[in-house]
Structure 1
Amino acid sequence: MKSINLIALLLFCTCTTYTFAQKSKKMDIIAYYTGDSKLIDEYEVNKLNQIIFSFSHLKDGKLSIDSPKDSLTIKHLVSLKAKNPQLKIILSLGGWGGCEPCSAAFSTADGRLTFAKSVKELSDYFKVDGLDLDWEYPAIEGLPGHLFQPADKSNFTELVKILRSTLGKKYELSFAAGGFQKYLDESIDWKTVAPLVNRINIMSYDLVNGYSTVTGHHTPLYSTNDKEESTDKAVTFLLKQGVPAEKLIIGGAFYSRTWKNVANINNGLYQSGEHIEGVNFKDFAATYTEANGWKYFYDKKAQAPYWYNEKTKTFATSDDLTSIKAKAEYVKAKKLGGIMFWELTLDKPTDGMVKAIYDVKTAK
């Protein structure tokens, strides 16, 4: 009898160890996607766990798909699940300029219920797997001119509650969270909201954004000083709030932020400048070359690359293959839920940023 019990105990321990080992290896790779129904077929969908269709918007208080083209794209994305059993397709509301009516629409119980019902109807119709809320931002200023008010914080909590009760456990619910301290402090009731959502997609990019007149790392893994925003700073804050590590998804940027008229001091880092249009990762190799006057630098403390062009007095900051691998390793080390990025069409279809993340995920 004792030997049977011992065998049973050993089997239990083995299975338990295996379960936790499997859990620790889980690292979701989540792509925001703005392309159409054809472009997605150029990318390695088999390496992704989620595709978040970006974006749908509010119309008369309801979640609305903007065009027949978008409907076709969503249907095609859902069809990809047949060959990719790990894949989930998520609808996203909003975006930087796409949530102007959100503060008003979600300010009443009726408004929130109307929206929640529309989310379920669309989710059922398209057979998607859930919703990502991209309201930028509750209770603090986002795009200049968009309504924001202190009540947004509690209204966001009530919105998440009604969405969860309406959608049930069948559908996933996540939201895109600002990665900077003001948002973390003022926009969300973390202790109430975190248990109701599947994941929190931390936008740990644009931490130095297009409104800034001083250069800096826009998507660093670590802060180089106490005042500097970073991925790790946001993650550490949220873990202290009691948010489970496996619900935290950190963000990668597949594009650069760029400034002109930047003095040749400290290779352009932390200098005044005028923000201009950046470059997509798929074009880095042809743009940031020595022949074009660019020099590459890597801040080992921040785990962040940057470029400076002495001839044109131009500075650029982004993620690259080195920093995105560092972020993926960070996810594994901290046992976070995964890594998301903005956005898939900015990557090279093969041998790009997604592959770099996937290689870290699958490394033994």
Structure 2
Amino acid sequence: MKKTFTLITLLIFLIGSIFTIATPLSKSLANSTARIEVTTTEEGGNTVQGSPSVTAIPADGKTVNQVTFYAKAINEPDSLYYPYAPDSSAPYTWTWPTGDPWVPDGKYMLKMVLEYSTGEVDTVTREIFVDNYSEPNAPASPNNLTVSSRSKSSVTLSWNPSVSDKLYNYVIYQNGTVIAETTSTSYTIDQLSVGSLYQFRVKAKDIYNNESVDDNTIGVLTAAKNGKVNSLPSISPIEAIGSSGATPGENGYSGTVQLSVTSADKESLNRVDFYVKTYESPESEYWKFPSTNQSGGTYSVNWDTTSAPEGKVIIKAVAYDSAGQSKTVTNVLLVDNVGDGQTSPGWEPADTPPANRIVGYLAGWATYGDYEIMRDLDASRLTHLNYAFAVIGDDLRIALSDPAKDLENFAELTQLKVHYPHLKTLIAVGGWGGSANFSEAAATHESREIFADSVVDFIVEHGFDGVDLDWEYPVTGGGPGTYPNPADRDNYPLLLETLRQKLDAQGQIDGKHYLLTIAGGATAGFAENTQLGYSQQYLDYVQIMTYDIHGTWETRADYNAPLFDDNGATYSVEIGVQAYLDAGVPADKLVMGVPFYGYRYNVTSTENNGLRQPFEGSGSITYKRIIQDGLLNNGYVRYWDEGTQVPYLFHAAESIFISYDDEESIARKAQFIRERQLGGAMIWEISQDYGNALLDSLYQVLKDPI
């Protein structure tokens, strides 16, 4: 929804849309001196963090017409290079925002295509490693690694497929050394010695070149001269029994935990050893438990988590038979002995729902952490909830982006609506990372019918009250898989019209009104590219993304969502809102976006308390994290900017500037909504609040009719 797209970038895309992203059919330049420069974490290195600058350096003496920047995961095919907006003015520099979920840690290939005035074309590439997080970005190992056949000189391994959706291939290890890679789920190793013991392990490798961390090693004997072999040891997955962690919703453990595995064939086992290490540490740091308890076919150890650091750990159990053959199983657990200070649930339900729209986006991925829908989501202060995100498949039908988690969350939303029957839920489609295939879905009468029919089926099947389209962005392109397409301008209202007709037809059958809404970029350009003054007739309300006005993709630290322009010093929420009103969106249909997050910058100058100063490192930060970590009690000073009506934090000793919204600024924005008689407020993103303090600030101002 909000992901990294600025007003400036949108303007660049508007300009860039007149260019083709394909490489021209021109002669390539021989003996080029062109190169790519990147701001890395160390001099001469290849590792980047945050939002590095990526610059194309043309060949000596050449005049440039245009440069296009592309990026892809190292193991993706060249057809999946993602193009950024072309640039025709020196310096040819792009800010590349890295980090989850769109650019996770791993290896990438950057490419620059330089088109010279001579007609020559230069293509230069550079490998880069993204490293933002302490924990490795690792795909899951394939499980059930076993021996399907063996002889005196060969072993055939087989395994279940990895569950990773970014799988590239499998890497085969023999005695700790890589011997092969394959895309199959079996592999035969030849030229082995008779009656000898070998260690085999299969790791999954993803498109970012990351390999598995969890261990599935097996110890295998080749057949003896008489051809006799024993079956491998067999043990269950590791189970953990102990007290719940101190932080509600974290699913961690605190205190003493019993770790155990079981075997139905205990007579064949010689012993079982248990090991533990922190998730991010190397395998050489596994610590072996001194002894293992056995009771029948159960093998266990007692683990005192208070001796371990907070965070993820890997528990490993290795079962051996008398011949030395072995089977390894692992489990990732969370040590959680120290609470985060947040009460549960930390809020009291409101007596009545708000009289004006308060729409909250819930990101599906937020529920992988400590956020629980039934415990933490304050639906009493919301009118609508948008679940983010579904996507559009290559068949032009709506599709789940995370099937297992999404279906689990949908079931909880259904329960939530039983407790809060006033709440309307919508499935949000697209977002920055999921807007691919919108152009195709909108392109023809047939494609619009296919998409609209699938949406109706989806919301009826999963109990939603409507659909919210977050196409980033029509005409200009934006997120991965999108591209500039001038035809989008005409097709956008046609897509909305088709959806409106299909939803109304289903509503006649079901005796209810199904909602149709959008979220749009906060610019006049977006309003023009979607004919918003005309298109709005098909919508129940229009959400404007009045945030990410500035961010980590820029070169200077600035405000994320300034309400006013401070006498022309910045673009503002007010300007964006006025652009939609000028385009013809009725005020009572316009729902204004407010962010529950901000941006953190390591500025290089303390001038002006870091505001609009250059920075070397950056990243997003939620309001929850600001309060949870007690930043205001740890060296940060809060300042209020009167010209923009937003706060910021500055840590002078560490030169850290944080742009964010707090209870005061959120209340001021809610008051702005009342003053301008707008249609309500929209939140990105509801789980980023702390104890629902920001949500309550909106509610207190908007609970009564405007």
Same fold (TM over 0.5): yes
Aligned-partner Cα distance in 2 for 1:275–1:236 = 33
Classify the secondary structure of the residue corresponding to 1:278: strand
> Structure 1 residue 343 and structure 2 residue 685: aligned?
yes
CA gap of 1:133–1:265, structure 2 versus 1, over 3 A, is: same
In structure 2, the partner of 1:261 is 603
Residue 210 (structure 1) shift: 2.8
> 443, 456, 474: which one pairs with 1:107?
443
Q: One-letter code of the match for 1:301?
A: G
Deviates more, 1:31-40 or 1:132-141: 31-40
Q: One-letter code of the match for 1:243?
A: V
Aligned-partner Cα distance in 2 for 1:267–1:94 = 37
Aligned-partner Cα distance in 2 for 1:181–1:293 = 40
Deviations 1:224-265 (A, max 9, x none): 243622211111222222211111111111111122233111
Give the number of equivalent residue pairs: 338
Residue 33 (structure 1) shift: 0.3
> Structure 1 residue 327 and structure 2 residue 669: aligned?
yes
Deviates more, 1:227-236 or 1:139-148: 139-148
Residue 131 (structure 1) shift: 0.6
Residue 110 (structure 1) shift: 1.6
In structure 1, the partner of 2:399 is 64
Deviations 1:66-117 (A, max 9, x none): 3032123123213322222321000000111111222233222222211100
> Structure 1 residue 302 and structure 2 residue 635: aligned?
no
> Structure 1 residue 220 and structure 2 residue 562: aligned?
yes
> Structure 1 residue 354 and structure 2 residue 695: aligned?
yes
Classify the secondary structure of the residue corresponding to 1:140: coil
Deviations 1:110-138 (A, max 9, x none): 22211100001111112211111011111
Greater per-residue strand proportion: 2
In structure 1, the partner of 2:378 is 44
> Structure 1 residue 96 and structure 2 residue 432: aligned?
yes
CA gap of 1:152–1:262, structure 2 versus 1, over 3 A, is: farther
Deviations 1:316-342 (A, max 9, x none): 111111110011111112221111111
Residue 361 (structure 1) shift: 2.1
Deviations 1:17-41 (A, max 9, x none): xxxxxxxx83111110024497111
Deviates more, 1:118-127 or 1:70-79: 70-79
CA contact (8 A) 2:434 2:480 kept: no
> 522, 546, 549: which one pairs with 1:179?
522
Classify the secondary structure of the residue corresponding to 2:408: helix
Deviates more, 1:86-95 or 1:186-195: 186-195
Deviates more, 1:142-151 or 1:251-260: 142-151
Aligned-partner Cα distance in 2 for 1:323–1:173 = 29
Aligned-partner Cα distance in 1 for 2:569–2:483 = 28
CA contact (8 A) 1:288 1:294 kept: no
Classify the secondary structure of the residue corresponding to 2:621: coil
Deviations 1:36-60 (A, max 9, x none): 4971112221111011011111122
Note the 1:151-300 alignment, pairs <5 A: 151-168=487-504, 170-184=513-527, 186-226=528-568, 228-274=570-616, 276-287=618-629, 289-300=631-642
Deviations 1:121-167 (A, max 9, x none): 11111221111101111112423663221212222111111111111
> Structure 1 residue 142 and structure 2 residue 478: aligned?
yes
In structure 2, the partner of 1:74 is 410
Aligned-partner Cα distance in 1 for 2:613–2:670 = 29
Classify the secondary structure of the residue corresponding to 2:620: coil
CA gap of 1:182–1:288, structure 2 versus 1, over 3 A, is: farther
CA contact (8 A) 2:396 2:440 kept: no
Aligned-partner Cα distance in 1 for 2:539–2:603 = 44
Residue 271 (structure 1) shift: 2.0
Q: One-letter code of the match for 1:40?
A: I
Aligned-partner Cα distance in 1 for 2:588–2:523 = 20
> Structure 1 residue 318 and structure 2 residue 660: aligned?
yes
Aligned-partner Cα distance in 2 for 1:29–1:180 = 22
Q: One-letter code of the match for 1:309?
A: H
Classify the secondary structure of the residue corresponding to 2:631: coil
Select the structure of larger CA radius of gyration.
2
Aligned-partner Cα distance in 1 for 2:625–2:581 = 36
CA contact (8 A) 1:256 1:318 kept: yes
CA contact (8 A) 1:205 1:219 kept: yes
Aligned-partner Cα distance in 1 for 2:565–2:639 = 17
CA contact (8 A) 1:212 1:275 kept: no
CA gap of 1:353–1:96, structure 2 versus 1, over 3 A, is: same
Aligned-partner Cα distance in 2 for 1:145–1:190 = 23
- Unmatched 5+ stretches in structure 1: 1-24
Aligned-partner Cα distance in 1 for 2:463–2:618 = 40
- Root mean square deviation, CA, Å: 2.1
Aligned-partner Cα distance in 2 for 1:363–1:109 = 43
Deviates more, 1:235-244 or 1:37-46: 37-46
Residue 194 (structure 1) shift: 1.1
Aligned-partner Cα distance in 1 for 2:502–2:478 = 28
In structure 1, the partner of 2:142 is none
Aligned-partner Cα distance in 1 for 2:373–2:627 = 22
CA gap of 1:290–1:71, structure 2 versus 1, over 3 A, is: closer
Aligned-partner Cα distance in 2 for 1:152–1:318 = 34
Residue 279 (structure 1) shift: 1.6
Aligned-partner Cα distance in 1 for 2:481–2:609 = 35
CA gap of 1:216–1:151, structure 2 versus 1, over 3 A, is: same
Aligned-partner Cα distance in 2 for 1:263–1:220 = 22
- Unmatched 5+ stretches in structure 2: 1-353, 508-512
> Structure 1 residue 30 and structure 2 residue 373: aligned?
no
Aligned-partner Cα distance in 2 for 1:259–1:141 = 28
Classify the secondary structure of the residue corresponding to 2:644: coil
CA contact (8 A) 1:181 1:229 kept: no
